[in-house]
Each structure stands twice: as C-alpha cells, then as structure tokens.
A and B are shown apart, each in its own frame.
Chain A
Amino acid sequence: MAEFGAYEVGGPAAAQPSVPPLPIWSSEGPSAGEFGKRDHIDHGVTENPYERRFSPYDFNGGTTLAVSGKDFVVVAGDTRMSSGYEIKSRNVPKLHQLTSKTVLAAAGCKTDVDTLTNLLRTRMQMYEHDCNKEMSTTAVAQMLSNTLYGRRFFPYYSFNVLAGLDEEGKGAVFSYDAIGSYERTPFSASGSGQSYLIPLMDNLVTFKTRLDPVPDMTVEEIVSIVKDAFVTAGERDIYTGDAVEIKVISATGVTTELFPLKKD
C-alpha cells in the first residue's frame, strides 16, 4: 500500500521522465552527427560510454613491379614507407630475397608483409632440411598461395608479386591477391601505383594494341622500362617515390641497383 512508504513498481505516469536507451554503437553515440566521428576519447566522463571500432590494418603505401624475360627476371619496388599523409621512412626496401633464385616483392601493411616473409622463410628452411634442396620458384609460389589462404578470414594485408627463375631457367612472375589466388603472368604490378604501371607495361612490354613486332627484350631495355615506369608512377601517386630498388635475377645470380626518385 503506497501510504506505508513501500516502493511502488511502475509509479504514477508523471513521476519519472523517460530516459532514452544508452547508445552502444559509436554511430549512435553523442558524437554521431553530420560531421562524422569526433577524434578524442572521452572515457565515459562527460558522455555515455559506447563502442569504438579499432582497425587492425594500416596502409603503408608503395608500388612493386616484376617483368619476366627469356632467361632472367627484373623485380622492383620503391623504398618509401608512409602512413596517412606522413612519410615514416624514405629507405625501407620492399624486396625480400627468399632463395638464390626467388624474390618476393610486397606492398601493403608492413607488419603483415614482414610476418608473412618470416613465416615463408621458416617453412622454406624446414623444406630444405626435409628435401635436401632449395625450394624451386613454382614450389614457393604454391606455398605462398596456401599460406595466404590459411588466413582467409583475417587476411594478410599484403599485395604480393613473386619473381624468379623456374626449373627450366626461364623468367617467372606470379601475381597474387590478398587471399592467395595466383597466376603466372609475363609481368605484374601491385600496390598504390599499380593503376599507372599496368597499362604502361601492357604497351611497352607485351605490346598490346600495337602492331609493330615485339623484340626480344634485353636486361638493359627492361631495366630502363622499369625506371621510366617508376618515375611516371612517382609523378601521380603520392605514396610512390624516394628511390626504387631494382633486382635482376639471372643464371649468374642476383644484382641490385638503387635508382633515386623524387622526394616530394
């Protein structure tokens, strides 16, 4: 009975003002508005606490390119590492030599690329102990595809291009997507500048839409095409620049050259 001061369940209608339900998602919180999310974290001091989303990926920029020749392959990657609008380093290589005949060029999230490379190297070492020989390029290509697909639902943010000499000594280039689909191609470009390089390579290397005959390309000609392409990509892509590291893999071994690009 109300007069003895007992609590009443569901008091008089006008007793309490109705409270709106607490927002859970950041898109419903007080900071949601037409100007988007605020960038400070209030920790529930002046606002109701709500979920914030953490992105596990960051894009560190860069472009990679690989072109195969008759008995050699040219791999290149710029050396700029960036985050947002900042340059973190002008001298971080993107080319990772896996065997004496295979190089992995990878752009994307640097930590994912490094972890992937370490994992590949570990599994390659185990292969060498088991099979008593170095892994061939085609075997590495398959292993990379399997490794990437193993993370099908939380992918490595790594845009890979694998280049090397196959068992017959011919140049081989493999392009990948983030979850392991791969294909052997005459050339491959990936990263932030790929849209500028692929049409250029179509014209200068495979002579698509050109009627003049494709000459047998020498190492020097392909290297100068690669340099030309990176200067072009550096003009229009803000993430490409500083320098490009160019490796040539042939029967005699691997040579490396560092060609400077614009720093702006």
Chain B
Amino acid sequence: MAQFNDMSSSGLEQLPTGERPRGGFAFDLCSRDQQIGTSIAAGGGRLPQAMKTGTTIVGVIYKDGVVLGADTRATGGTEVCDKNCEKIHYLSDNIYCCGAGTAADTEKTTEMISSQLELHRLNTGMQSRVVTAVTLLKRMLFRYQGHVSAALVLGGCDVNGSHLYHIYPHGSTGKLPYVTMGSGSLAAMSVFETDWKEDMEEAEAIEVVKQAIRAGIFNDLGSGSNVDVTVIRKPEVGGGTTVMRGFDTPNEVADLRAGYTRPKAIVVPRGATAVLSKEVSLSELVTVEDAPEPMAF
C-alpha cells in the first residue's frame, strides 16, 4: 500500500529548479486567502463560491449488473453554472462513480482513485474490484474529515458479481441494492421505494432510473436538464459497459423558443457597435508576393 503515497520516485518531469514535485493538497495560500476574504467582506462583497452540483444521482442493481443515473445541472449558489455537466465519472472499465457535492472535489477525487486503480491493475495483472475502489475512496475521505465534500454513488461488476455502494463525505459507506444521493435524493428515493423490484431486466431497470432522475430534475431546484445513464454488466452475461450521455433530454430550450416569434431586436445589424479605433497590420510571418506566372502546358 505504501506505493500509493510515495510519489517521489515516480517518473514525473523535474521542475526547473530541480526540486521534486510533491503530491497532495498545497496549503501555502490559505492564510493569504483568509486575509483577502476578510478585506472583501469588509467592502461588502463575497468570495467566489465553489461550484456545487446540487444534484440527483442514483444507482440500482438489476439481474445482469448495475445501472447508474445522474442529472446534468451544476449550480454556483442559485445560478446554473453548467447546464450539461457530466456527473458519472470513469474509475475503470468495469467501475463507474456518480458524484454529488462540490464539483471540483468529486472530479479530482474520482480521477485520483482511477489512476491509483490503474497502477494497481498493472501491479496485480487483474481486473479492478469494486471493494478496492470503495476502500481507497473511504480511506481518503475520512483522512480529510469531511472537508473534501464528495458524496458518491459507486457501482460496478467484477469477479464477485455486481456491487453498488454509497459513500458519504466523512468516509462512511453502505452497500445496498438501490441508492440515491444529492439534494434530489428524496424525490428519487420516493420513486425507488415505489417501483424498485429485485432481479429486474435491463430495460426495466433503466426505466426506473430514468423516472427517479426525472423526479429529481422536476421537483428539486438543485437538479435539472438531462438524464445520463451508464449500464455495467456482469462478466457472466458478457461484461461490457454502455455509457448513455443525454439518455433523456426533457428540457430542450429550442422547443420553448419555437413557441413564439423571436423579437426582431435580437438581430443586431452591422454597424451597430461603435468602432473607437482601427488598426491594420501585417504579421511578420506573412510575406506578400506578386501572383506567380500560371503554369503552361
């Protein structure tokens, strides 16, 4: 296990000053950030907020594997920062992870564990197991005592079958047949508690996941836009993963815009923008020559 933490002997390029690059979080800017925060607050402003994903993320176990689902809205406060972000992250070919909480935390944490899993596969020569991913994630999250705000739904299939876990920011985990996380988790769970059955077929499972995410999209203000679905199948039925980005798109704005005549004022004619000054210059990489004689046959 020591090799996961020892980055000093890795093949990273040396910095110009010759010092070895160190992994992990850097805390040297913390005191300066705090001072900036106090001075901004004194002037009546606010520090920029971390982008959170609001979110509805779900997972179900079905007869032949696991189905994961997520919405695609990312919010910064009450503003929608990204209308179509990807919340289902790749950990390995047979393991995927949905993330809720602070967007940077879920993205970087899953990336880190994904690269650790790849190194582990090269070391062991075997396919990654879901418990390995869960253990790596929970050990890291507990170490940071909840300050890394990542709430995850992790699902995958390995030699021991199909597995589904939820992982909380402080490091606790649970292994369950169906899970939901995020601000829309209550809306999604109400759908699961009504419609989930054991040993569903693939089409049935995808439909339940779609309905659960839709419940989050329409009833939770932190979730919205589209439904992303990922299906991971057990090795017994051939293995394989299907990533369906934009599986359901019930919120296309083009349909809404088609419902009325667009105003004429949005078409800004040429010349409507004031030109303050004009400068034309030729780049020194371009040379101007007279047109050459055309080839004669």
Contact = CB atoms under 8 A, between A and B. Distances in A.
Interface string A223-264: 011011001000111110000000000000000000111111
A35 B221 contact: no
A260 B274 CA distance: 37
B80 A235 contact: yes
A259 B219 contact: no
B160 to A, nearest CB: 36
B265 interface: yes
Contacts of B15: none
21 contacts: A85-B54, A85-B183, A85-B221, A87-B221, A192-B78, A204-B263, A210-B273, A212-B268, A212-B271, A220-B261, A224-B261, A224-B263, A228-B257, A231-B256, A237-B78, A238-B75, A238-B222, A259-B259, A262-B253, A264-B224, A264-B225
Contacts of B266: 204, 228
Contacts of B257: 228, 231
B145 to A, nearest CB: 9
A237 B73 CA distance: 12
B83 interface: yes
Nearest to B255: A262
A86 interface: yes
Tell which of B54, B79, B83 has the most Cβ of chain A within 10 Å.
B79
Contacts of A212: 268-269, 271-272
Interface in B238-288: 250-251, 253, 256-257, 259-266, 268-269, 271-274
Interface in B190-234: 217-225
Contacts of A263: 218
Closest 10 CB pairs of A and B: A264-B224, A238-B221, A212-B272, A204-B265, A224-B263, A225-B263, A210-B272, A236-B80, A85-B221, A264-B217
Contacts of B79: 236-238
A228 B221 contact: no
Contacts of A79: none
Contacts of B273: 209-211
Contact of B268 (A85, A192, A210): A210
A23 to B, nearest CB: 24
A100 B83 CA distance: 41
Interface in A14-57: 35
Interface residues of B, number: 37
B174 interface: no
Contacts of B261: 220, 224
Interface string A198-209: 000001110101
Contacts of A259: 259-260
Interface of B: 54, 73, 75, 78-80, 83, 146, 183, 217-225, 250-251, 253, 256-257, 259-266, 268-269, 271-274
A262 B259 CA distance: 12
A261 B256 contact: yes
B83 A235 contact: yes
B71 to A, nearest CB: 8
A64 interface: no
Contacts of A264: 73, 217-218, 223-225, 250-251
Interface string A147-161: 000000000000000
B164 to A, nearest CB: 25
A262 B253 CA distance: 8
A216 interface: no
A83 B15 CA distance: 51
A206 to B, nearest CB: 10
Contacts of A167: none
Contact of A225 (B222, B265, B268, B269): B265
A209 B264 CA distance: 17
Nearest to B79: A236
Contacts of A3: none
A225 B272 CA distance: 19
Contacts of B83: 235
B82 to A, nearest CB: 10
A82 interface: yes
Contacts of A221: 263-265
B243 to A, nearest CB: 22
B260 A224 contact: yes
Nearest to B270: A212
Contacts of B78: 192, 237-239
B102 to A, nearest CB: 15
B271 A35 contact: no
A261 B223 CA distance: 16
A31 to B, nearest CB: 16
A14 to B, nearest CB: 38
A15 B83 CA distance: 67
Interface in A110-163: none
A238 B262 contact: no
